[in-house]
Structure 1
Amino acid sequence: MSEQLNERRGLLIILSSPSGAGKSTLAKRLMEWDPTLSFSVSATTRAPREGEVDGQHYHFVDEPKFKDMVIKGEMLEHAHVFGNFYGSPAEPVRQAIEGGKDVLFDVDWQGEVQIRNSSMASHSLSIFILPPSIKELRARLIGRGQDSDDVIQKRMQKSWDEISHWGSYDYVLVNDDLEATAQRLITIVEATRQRRNQQPRLLDHVRKLQTEFEEGST
């Protein structure tokens, strides 16, 4: 295939799952497979934590600025979580897509719906990760050793609400085997990169073929 036909637009890759289903590990596997992938850097109104760098971990903005960005349509998606606003600035993502770079989004189903209804929906790929069982989901949360029993219970209560929205995603993967699921995820990304609308040079190539055909027929 010619270099011209290899040019493509980037993908906006959405990964969602209930906490403990393996989304973060799968995202890491995806980025190990293709180091050019990058996470979307969210904007937030919360204060920076120790060690966090503005523009690297988050874009830290005050609440009036955040709300102004939402009003102006400068956020692909946004949410209010535990007293703070979080959102994904649209312009860096738009530039990445036009430059042929894929961007990963770690958002919940509400973020997925907002992106699916945005101007960049045609370049999005949404994937929901399901656990093999609720018992296994709880075991993974406990095994991480990061949360108290109370927090684990709250995450479990929230998990079914998240799982109930699986039907709105392009693909759904059951993460019963990490390596196999990671390979399926990679296969999905590889195939979606070849979608017709991801290849802006295809129309010119078809026109060129048509011209060659017509010239050869005369």
Structure 2
Amino acid sequence: MKDEELPPTEPPITRLFTSSDRQWLAAVNCFGDIYVFNLEILRQHWFISRLDGASVTAGGFLPQNNNILVVTTSSNQVYVFDVEVRQLGEWSMRNTFVLPRRYQEFPGEVIGLSFPPSETLTAVVYSSRAMCFIDFKLPVEQDDSEMLLTQDSVGRNIQNLNVKKRTKYRKNFEVVPLENPVLFLTHIKNNSFFMIDKPWLEVVKSLEASPVHRHIFGS
């Protein structure tokens, strides 16, 4: 029997994250287990068992501190790990399980995160419907009467595709709804990022091409 015909002994890897200094590689399987490899010596460095039984939705190493791995999960949690010392980061030990409700109720599942090029311990987490600004240096503010910005206050100048937009952080874990479904987002400068979205009109057009079957009831 050939090797490719043998049943897999490990669950498939679904995500890979690498540090900018090329020292660390984090491989995530379909169950949410994380394998951290040291690429300098080509050996496994650490194994992180699935986090609260949730899958990993996004992650990445901080560009300014390559030992710090940030991970988001399907249960809307954010974890910060120090992979060099093989432990949960100080921020996570204080805040991961007391995140504000506005993030716990984040619209849509997180699909990615982006780090400003020269800001330390700062990230933007996003789903297809919203984005959230996180500064790991600031305290985690709990919810108040203004949990979400209204949709009219953002996104009015977003073009159909290939968008470059400037914004300013207002408070930690601020959730900003987005006008159209977002496919991809990444930082260009600290307060400027590139975003690709799909206008709702295009979404509707794609639905029109599919046949609709409707049951007719009556005598």
TM-score using structure 1 length: 0.23
TM-score using structure 2 length: 0.23
Question: Larger helix proportion, structure 1 or 2?
Answer: 1
